[in-house]
Structure 1
Amino acid sequence: MASQFGLPTGCLEKWQDVPAATVSDCLDRWQVMDAAVQRRCGERMVGTAFPIRVMPGDNLTVHKALSSVPRGSVLVIDAGGYANRAIWGELLSARAVVRGAVGAVVDGAVRDVSAVRELGFGCWSRAVSAAGPHKSGGGVWGEAISCGGVTVSPGDLVIADEDGVVVVPAAKADETYRAAVDRMEAEASRKSQILAGETGASSYDVSEE
């Protein structure tokens, strides 16, 4: 298993106000997880990916992997998209908080949503189910997985908000950030023009939408 994940803390902080939608726009509108992967807890989440793959409906591998999770990580879990048995809940969230993880994205089901929310832990998932997991094992962590239709490698940047989850490949983080800042500035200017009553084509570039 890989032992080092993520970008320096300073690299994460600067992303805190960048919307997921803007990030996707700067990645040619790719890298967005399936729309079914929705917010359950938390307003926003920014962290580096700690990928885990489990057998559908089984979370033993998640328990084992938690001891290797670095601070500032988002656990990104490929649970096969299985919606009828939760592989994440309150106790795993509590352990993740102690480890310094900022949240989890699960391509599968979670439960204990109210309790997880009280912990202040971010959680996005494909489904919610009261049914608990099996613990037979058969998974891996620390290598590339597919979650919500997007390839996620260790150390990739994960940005999640109410619009969805976007993954920035680590090698593209710097250039994507610069493009996102430029885009936000341009859109803020265009919005001001629109609100001021300038609605002509000169103030609106259709190609940007």
Structure 2
Amino acid sequence: MNVMNSASSTLNEETLQPVPTNSGQQRRYGDFPTFPAALDYAAQGNAGFNIYSGKGVLLEALPYKKLREQAIETGLRLLGMGLQPGDRVAIVAESDGDFARIFFGCQYAGLVSAPLPLPVAFAGKEAYLATLRGMITSAGASAVIIPQIIEGWTNDIVSGLGLVFAGSPGELMARPVPEMALPEIKPEALSYLQFSSGSTRFPMGFV
């Protein structure tokens, strides 16, 4: 079994090819009214995200066309939970395809994503949990997405916060896609919430 898994892993690394960086499209410079409009345009070309491990191994080749399809489905899943346009969704952010799918899913659903840090820059678990809970509260989040790497801390992170959803990207993606319409996204709508670099001590969000 181990040999088969190793062979399969090697085969995947050999067969996975990066997405082209040249989209084949006319370049547009910041004239998109919204994030979804920008991805709608990019999805018509050949380019996308290439996601690598720290060792330079290609983990996922994600064309913008595929990202758009997956983001729309993700946005519908979030709305299907009862979230409403304008609600905040905290995303503990890994540099992977799931973050892109959820971030853009929020954009299509009219939800305000709030990317949050992994515990790399914090002095221990307790300090990280306290800061993360402060960020979630400060953001006014109604849902939190927690990556598998710290999935075991979920209860410590969300206990008592009264969230609509708290779980991993896998749990989110496993939910059915409801048959409902996406909202119209207006240019003046709040897009996402970004915390300042000083938020490791005092959570401070910027829109």
**Would you say same fold, with TM above 0.5?**
no
Q: What's the TM-score, normalizing by structure 1? A: 0.27
Which structure carries more helix by proportion? 2
Higher strand share: 1
TM (norm. structure 2) is: 0.27
Higher relative contact order (CA 8 A, sep 6+): 1
